[in-house]
């Protein structure tokens, strides 16, 4: 464990906004890269839910407003939490900005939380995100600000039968299609030797690609394929998924409120839980 000085003055400070023009071709490419079967996504008309990361991807570097640049090789994507106000559509011109809400040092590493908001050209809020990072082996030595809101899986739901279960296959070339579609070039997803050099078994799937699989699972199994019905999607990434593996996602209904039903879910590869604390909120 290494103790590193973080800059607490960066907490709560908005980064520079970034603008992104949504093209139908990019939406369709993202849908194909995540094996999404929903026709409106494949046609490039409406973006898959997790496409929301694409316009805001560069803003995630705001974590380095508090964490030293030297920690970059140790940063893992721990959790992702989307709130959707409306779907992204072809032709949208979106502006995103981000701020660090807080961080907490621990002996095993430091958890940091970045809040991102994306607006359309009229200034209306399109989506919000909390991106939680884990900087492994680096202890900030303090807790500052607030971390992302919880979305913990309630173990009591296992007393009831699941409402849906779906098996999906991650293709051998999945990461090579997802990387350009998402704009994420991180080499652990593309270079087997590099991935092994940092302790991984080889190329691993992007966490957000796996999350995108679960998003269309939720829409097809619980939302009749209607993207606008998905209000919130949140996960914790717990273990890597490898190309060529099958993933199984299981959904449990947990209650209804304000015209929407909440579902707890988890995703497994065999006996290994690869996505924990899954939450999907779908309008009735």
Q: Helices in the chain by DSSP H: which ranges?
A: 24-33, 39-42, 53-56, 174-182, 192-197, 207-222
Listed residue (273, 228, 167) closest to 41, CA to CA? 228
pTM of the model: 0.95
Residues whose CB is less than 8 angstroms from the CB of residue 56 and which lie 6 or more positions away in sequence, other chains included: 18, 20, 96, 98, 116, 118, 129
DSSP string, 105-136: EETTEEEEEEEEEEE-TTS-EEEEEEEEEEEE
Write out pLDDT tens, residues 36-80. 999 999 999 999 999 999 999 988 888 899 999 988 878 889 999
Chain-wide mean pLDDT for the chain? 95
Give yes or no for residue 217 having a pLDDT over 90: yes
Q: What percentage of the chain carries pLDDT values higher than 90?
A: 87
Q: Which of 113-122, 191-200, 241-250 has the lowest mean pLDDT?
A: 191-200
Listed residue (206, 211, 67, 234) closest to 136, CA to CA? 67
Phi/psi class of residue 224: alpha, beta or left (left: φ > 0; alpha: ψ in -120 to 50)? left
CA angle 271, 274, 277 (to 5 degrees): 110
Tokens 């593309």 locate to 190
Average pLDDT over residues 177-199: 91
* Reported confidence tier of residue 1, pLDDT bands at 50, 70, 90: low
Cβ atoms of 20 and 62 closer than 8 Å: no
- In this prediction, residue 2 carries a pLDDT of 61
CA distance 210 to 266: 12
- In this prediction, residue 27 carries a pLDDT of 98
CA dihedral sign, ordered 76, 81, 87, 91: negative
- Number of helical (H) and strand (E) elements in the chain, helices listed first: 6, 13
CA distance 181 to 19: 17
Give yes or no for residue 271 having a pLDDT over 70: yes
- In this prediction, residue 274 carries a pLDDT of 98
Tokens 């497994």 locate to 268
Average pLDDT over residues 32-38: 98
Cβ atoms of 129 and 84 closer than 8 Å: no
Residue 191: DSSP 8-state = -
- In this prediction, residue 76 carries a pLDDT of 86
- In this prediction, residue 162 carries a pLDDT of 98
The domains of the chain, with CATH numbers, are 2-283 (3.10.129.10)
Average pLDDT over residues 21-29: 98
Tokens 């093209």 locate to 23
Write out pLDDT tens, residues 120-164. 999 999 999 999 999 988 999 999 999 999 999 999 999 999 999
């Amino acid at each position: 464990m290494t103790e590193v000085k973080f800059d607490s003055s960066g907490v709560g400070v908005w980064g520079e906004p970034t603008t992104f023009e949504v093209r139908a071709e990019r939406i369709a490419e993202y849908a194909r890269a995540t094996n999404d079967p929903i026709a409106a996504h494949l046609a490039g008309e409406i973006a898959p839910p997790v496409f929301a990361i694409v316009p805001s991807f560069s803003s995630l570097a705001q974590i380095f407003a508090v964490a030293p640049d030297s920690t970059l090789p140790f940063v893992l994507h721990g959790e992702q939490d989307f709130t959707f106000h409306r779907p992204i559509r072809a032709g949208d011109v979106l502006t995103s900005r981000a701020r660090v809400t807080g961080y907490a040092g621990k002996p095993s590493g430091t958890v940091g939380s970045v809040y991102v908001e994306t607006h359309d050209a009229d200034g209306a809020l399109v989506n919000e995100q909390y991106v939680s990072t884990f900087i492994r082996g680096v202890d900030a030595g303090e807790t500052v600000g607030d971390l992302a809101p919880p979305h913990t899986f309630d173990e009591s739901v296992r007393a009831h039968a699941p409402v849906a279960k779906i098996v999906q296959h991650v293709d051998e070339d999945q990461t090579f299609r997802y990387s350009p579609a998402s704009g994420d070039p991180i080499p652990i997803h593309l270079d087997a030797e590099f991935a092994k050099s940092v302790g991984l078994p080889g190329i691993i799937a992007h966490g957000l690609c796996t999350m995108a699989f679960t998003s269309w699972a939720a829409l097809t199994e619980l939302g009749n394929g209607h993207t606008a019905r998905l209000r919130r999607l949140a996960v914790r990434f717990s273990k890597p998924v490898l190309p060529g593996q099958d993933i199984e996602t299981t959904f449990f209904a947990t209650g209804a409120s304000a015209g929407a039903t909440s579902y707890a879910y988890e995703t497994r590869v065999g006996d290994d839980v690869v996505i924990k604390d899954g939450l999907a909120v779908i309008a009735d």
